Chain A
Amino acid sequence: MDPQPSVSPAPPRRPARPAWATCGETALEWLIRLSGVSAILFVLAIFFFVFREAAPVLLSKNFRLAEFLFSPAWYPTSVSHVRYGILALVVGTACVSGLAVLLAVPFSLGAAIFVSEFCGRRLKEVLKAVIELLAAIPSVVWGFVGLTVTSKLVQQLTGAPVGVNILNGGVILALMVVPIITSISEDALKAVPDTYREAALALGATRWQIVHRVLLPAAKNGLLAAALLGVGRAVGETMAVLMTTGHAVQIPHSILDSVRTMTANIAAELGEAPEHSEHYRVLFLTGVLLFLITFVVNLTADLVVRGIRKK
């Protein structure tokens, strides 16, 4: 719509705005446009700068892309036989975040359903506040809790030799992603029109029947997107998994083995890798891979959500 009113035949005289005001306004509007585009620029810049640091290693003779992706041998500091295979790290990431999402999705779905359909207004406010507070706890605090509290519990309950392992990391990570999945799922349930609920109520359905016959099918895509965003968050989490999963670069055989994830590997080794060395560049390449993974996950989540809106 046009912000300017149409000019009447005999406009009343009024003082013109000073030139600096008009110019200032134009300048400001351009600044606003620039800021608007900045999000795109930042995403491109992140990819560019991380890739720029990583790129030279692609041409190095010690580096082969197939080995990087599919070999579990990670010996970045070996003098005689340098190997850069991140398969063990990828498997570590997959195990820990897979376990976390498996644990977190049922709980957050249940909590979201309870908050949006079953509880009264007061309780709803309180629960939403708690979810917000949970989401605000810094990851390093979760990591610290995993290191000092839950790892001991895991050790006592399962008799594992070390408490910092996949189970421990998965539990901590699950606690971290639960509030995220819950709040997005709750939004998805809220987006289902009230008329659906009213129609079901009119047929004599109980709330449970409404939830499972009407709401879940209707909000399916939104809930799937919530789970996907949870996956993205779990894969990208750094400090908590760095402190809770142990530091063993290995393909795990059981849930009680220690692993190292891609993110934790970067955080642990970047400080030791000499600047601009091959090792350093391979760590950046892992970063590029992580960036691409989360990019695809987020894009998929967005497409899934857009799927419902089209309907």
Chain B
Amino acid sequence: MKTPPITPAGAGMQPGATMFAETRLVRRKLFSEALAKWIFFGMAAAMVVPLLCLVAYLLARAMPSLSLNFLLDPPLHNMTQGGVWPALVGTVYLVVIGLSISVPVGVMAAVYLNEYARENWFHRAITMAVINLAGVPSIVHALFGLGAFVYAARFGYSVLSAALTLAIMTMPVVITSTREALASVPHGFREACWNVGATRWQTIKAVVLPNSISGMLTGVILEVSRTAGETAPIMFTGAVFFKAVERGDLFPYHLTDQCMALSMHLYVLATQVPGVKESLPFATAVVLLGVVLLVNAALIGLRVYLRSRKRW
């Protein structure tokens, strides 16, 4: 919070530092202040602690299985042993294909909303639709993917259907963050460009987009982690329990094939496979969590770096 330069008497943080003698009222006020502060601190801490405990516990339980071979091996012996290679590659496939669809459309939608659309009911309707798209339950997206891509468009149960479903589901992330980035470019930049005779699109290309690239990148990275973690939308559109893939094979899937995915693999190991080695689902969870958290940590680092060299 921004504190004004001169701290008024009675609002100081140290009880002894007040200018006036402490009355009972002041003491009570300062006591309730301290109490409130610690209670709110406790509530904030209650959020941090579970994250640390969770990661530590999962890591501890996963230790026996974690190794390079775990990443590179396919699941073995009816999925009770082995590694996660096909699922890892499948997740990468889904993320890459999904993003290559949702990022261009999302960025263009944001450009439209911020640069072209006027403030009117239509603009509001689009904003509302974006909010709603973000709020639709993931299982409804799965039903949509099944009805639209698998059956109506006849893509069948495939990587393509699953990636399209994920793309539509995660598009609001890219739209929202790109829009914020575009809005943060000062209006004077655009006016200067218009004044030298550039058209609207030339201005966007030469001035607006380069100046908001960091915000867009934020959205893209956030979307990577979202896409990698989703399970429900791919469960019925293209992800399968098991697919035989060679160890370390980089291109095991075709667009029309079904694929494995890390999130689905974790669900299957945890609930559907009897007699699975105890540390195996934990190790899978750690790999999935590792992918998502690393991507997010990279995002936070990137944002700090870009903010430090912002030019205006």
A residues contacting B by CB (< 8 A) are 1, 3-5, 25, 28-29, 31-33, 35-40, 42-43, 45-46, 49-50, 52-53, 106-107, 109-111, 113-119, 127, 129-134, 136-141, 143-145, 147-149, 175, 178-179, 182, 194, 197-198, 201-202, 204-209, 211-212, 229, 232-233, 235-239, 243, 263, 266-267, 270-271, 283-284, 287, 290-291, 294-295, 297-299, 302
Contact = CB atoms under 8 A, between A and B. Distances in A.
A37 to B, nearest CB: 7
B1 A116 contact: yes
Given A141-B288, A204-B11, A297 B40 contact: no
B80 interface: no
Nearest to B125: A40
The 6 closest A-B pairs by CB, nearest first: A138-B229, A36-B112, A236-B137, A110-B43, A35-B108, A114-B40
Given A35-B108, A284-B143, A25 B136 contact: no
Interface stretch (B47-55, B68-76, B243-251, B252-260): B47-55
A35 B112 contact: yes
B45 to A, nearest CB: 9
A291 B139 CA distance: 10
Contact of A238 (B10, B111, B226, B232): B232
B2 interface: yes
A111 B40 contact: yes
B235 A136 contact: no
5 contacts: A32-B112, A38-B109, A46-B140, A111-B40, A136-B225
Nearest to A138: B229
Contacts of A233: 135
A53 B141 CA distance: 13
B213 interface: no
A236 B199 contact: no
B206 interface: no
Interface in B267-295: 267, 270-271, 281-282, 285, 288-289, 292-293
Given A35-B112, A140-B266, A147-B270, A295 B132 contact: yes
Contacts of A25: 199, 201-202
Contacts of A134: 47, 50-51
Interface of B: 1-4, 8-11, 29-30, 32-33, 35-37, 39-44, 46-48, 50-51, 54, 57-58, 104-106, 108-109, 111-113, 116-117, 125-126, 128-133, 135-144, 146-148, 151-152, 168, 171-172, 175, 191, 194-195, 197-203, 222, 225-226, 228-232, 235-236, 263-264, 266-267, 270-271, 281-282, 285, 288-289, 292-293, 296-297, 300
B41 A141 contact: no
B194 A5 contact: yes
B32 A206 contact: yes
Given A36-B112, A110-B40, A144-B270, A175 B50 contact: yes
B147 A197 contact: no
B276 to A, nearest CB: 12
Given A137-B292, A201-B4, A297-B135, 7 more contacts: A36-B113, A43-B136, A137-B289, A204-B11, A232-B135, A238-B137, A298-B135
Given A106-B43, A302-B131, A31 B203 contact: no
A36 B117 contact: yes
Contacts of B152: 49, 52
Given A43-B132, A138-B231, A206-B30, A115 B44 contact: yes
Given A5-B194, A46-B144, A36 B109 contact: yes
Contact of A208 (B32, B131, B144, B229): B32
A175 B49 CA distance: 11
Contacts of A198: 4
Contacts of B226: 136
B200 A3 contact: yes
Contacts of A197: 1-2
A136 B173 CA distance: 12
A137 B30 CA distance: 39
Contact of A133 (B57, B125, B147, B297): B297
Given A39-B129, A267-B139, A140 B229 contact: yes
Contacts of B231: 138-140, 238-239
B181 to A, nearest CB: 16
Contact of A201 (B8, B37, B175, B230): B8
Contact of B232 (A43, A131, A267): A267
Nearest to B266: A140
B229 A139 contact: yes
Nearest to B265: A140
A134 B289 CA distance: 11
A291 B140 contact: yes
Given A3-B200, A111-B47, A130-B51, A45 B144 contact: yes
B267 A28 contact: no
Contacts of B10: 204, 206
